[in-house]
Amino acid sequence: MSNFLIFVTGGIAAYKIPNLCRLLIKAGHNVKVGMTENATKFITPLTFESLTKNRVYIDDFLTDVEPDSIDHIDLIEWADKIIVAPCTANTISKIANGIGDNLVTSSMLVVKSKPVYIFPSMNTNMYENPFVQENIAKLRKLGYFVFEPDEGELACKTEGKGRLIEPEEIFNIVVEEKLKGVKFLVTLGPTKEGIDPVRFISNYSSGKMGYNIAKYIKDNGGEVFVVAGDVCLDLSPFSYVKIRSAEEMYNEVISRFSEYDILIMTAAVADYRVKNISDKKIKKNDETLLLELVKNKDILYEVSKVKNEKQVVVGFAAETDDLINNAMEKLNRKKLDMIVVNDVSRSDIGFGADENEVTIFLKNGENIRLSKQSKYLIAKHVVDVAYNILREKNE
Ligand SMILES: Cc1cc2nc3c(=O)[nH]c(=O)nc-3n(C[C@H](O)[C@H](O)[C@H](O)COP(=O)(O)O)c2cc1C
């Protein structure tokens, strides 16, 4: 069950949206509707209010309804998926240019890493207008899913491209359940290797990449279990277990792996641990302190020994130099199906950031470069590629 936020803008096809609401609600989803002022001239908010049993959001500056809420922020926070349908040429162009002058466009400025589905609908000349086309291209480049309208008879009595695709089709696109029946094991976050009862060695992993992977899997009907290091993320949407050390992560992964179709290891697992963990807090008596470290088991390498030929294993490599050679060496040595490489020497991507830029390397030497985009969209690509490998293996 997902929270769908539908934004309706001022186009003739607004009349089709109650049907979309009905389909989503019937399938067990929650629906809230926001409208532009112009959309209310085509269809009344009361229709949506009655169908969704929720207040309809139009005026961002209302204070008397829920005084302690800021609608454009709270709505996006609430939503799992955001739909703009029908989306006028006007609203497309506003979103693509960062304009926030009403409830709908202000809300769209708040979206960071949630899937947005835009369904344009307009007269053919408007659709083919170079500004509109340029803005659609811009949105797609930024990771918005913008769908082609249908061809056919339009309200303006012309024939051509511009009809809003039918609600049933929109429903099938937004309620993707393509991962139904597929079981994913996802690791995320850092490990912590104890030094004494109060100190540890760790790394900067925030767990956000793995979190977005788990979320994308869940959004698309897959089953996911998360093995998480110590992260400040709300894992309650998933089944999960929290661990501290690399050894605990190893035990959790190895004991569960055989039950899963796909393992995605995004966790930043410590290579070494302290040989003798002090059971008392170490005093600062000496000028120097030497810690002897011993190698941890390499989880992916151990997994490769027990993996069957139908399972898919995805590794992540955080590299600071010689990315390609390091990644290919790991892919081969650990018998991975694919490896996702990111350059953690850059502060604008990778550890802790909300965006990432990665290259996916496949066993056959092929590589897929993903330009800088939200970690959710990176997650979508990574999971989709892993799922395709699983399908090929199980054909
Ligand atoms: C009868 C009528 C029908 C319209 N249909 C559409 C349409 O289907 N698509 C579109 O992009 N604009 C359409 N427009 C123009 C938009 O309503 C107009 O650009 C408006 O500013 C859009 O506002 P909004 O994007 O804030 O909802 C229509 C206007 C009228 C008067």
Low-confidence stretches of the chain (pLDDT < 70) are 63-65, 67, 156, 345-352
d(CA 117, CA 173) in angstroms, rounded, equals: 9
> Where in the sequence is the domain holding 296, given as residue range(s)?
183-393
Q: What is the distance in A from the centroid of ligand 1 to the CA of 16?
A: 15
- CATH number of the CATH domain containing 38: 3.40.50.1950
d(CA 89, CA 256) in angstroms, rounded, equals: 50
Q: What is the distance in A from the centroid of ligand 1 to the CA of 94?
A: 13
Q: Quick one: CA torsion of 64, 66, 72, 73, rounded to 10 degrees?
A: 140
Question: Is 10's C-beta closer than 6 angstroms to any atom of ligand 1?
Answer: yes
Q: Which of the residues 21, 87, 156, 232 is marked catalytic?
A: 156
Question: Is 34's C-beta closer than 6 angstroms to any atom of ligand 1?
Answer: no
Q: How many domains does the chain have?
A: 2
Q: What is the distance in A from the centroid of ligand 1 to the CA of 121?
A: 9
Residues with Cβ within 8 Å of 40's Cβ and at least 6 positions away in sequence, in order, are: 58
Last residue of a domain, one of 113, 139, 174: 174
d(CA 385, CA 360) in angstroms, rounded, equals: 9
Q: What is the distance in A from the centroid of ligand 1 to the CA of 91?
A: 9
d(CA 164, CA 11) in angstroms, rounded, equals: 10
Q: Of 57, 87, 90, 153, which is best to mutate to test ligand 1, by the most ligand atoms within 8 angstroms of its C-beta? A: 90
| 221 shares its domain with 78 | no
| 264 shares its domain with 384 | yes
Atom of ligand 1 nearest to the CA of 126: 11
Question: Is 87's C-beta closer than 6 angstroms to any atom of ligand 1?
Answer: no
Question: Is 85's C-beta closer than 6 angstroms to any atom of ligand 1?
Answer: no
| 199 shares its domain with 166 | no
Phi then psi for 230, rounded to 5 degrees? -80, 100
Last residue of a domain, one of 153, 174, 195: 174
Question: Is 90's C-beta closer than 6 angstroms to any atom of ligand 1?
Answer: yes
Q: Quick one: CA torsion of 347, 348, 352, 357, rounded to 10 degrees?
A: -110
pLDDT of residue 349: 62
Question: Is 103's C-beta closer than 6 angstroms to any atom of ligand 1?
Answer: no
pLDDT in tens, 186-221: 999 999 999 999 999 999 999 999 999 999 999 888
pLDDT of residue 347: 66
Last residue of a domain, one of 156, 174, 192: 174
| 139 shares its domain with 205 | no
Q: Is 156 an active-site residue? A: yes
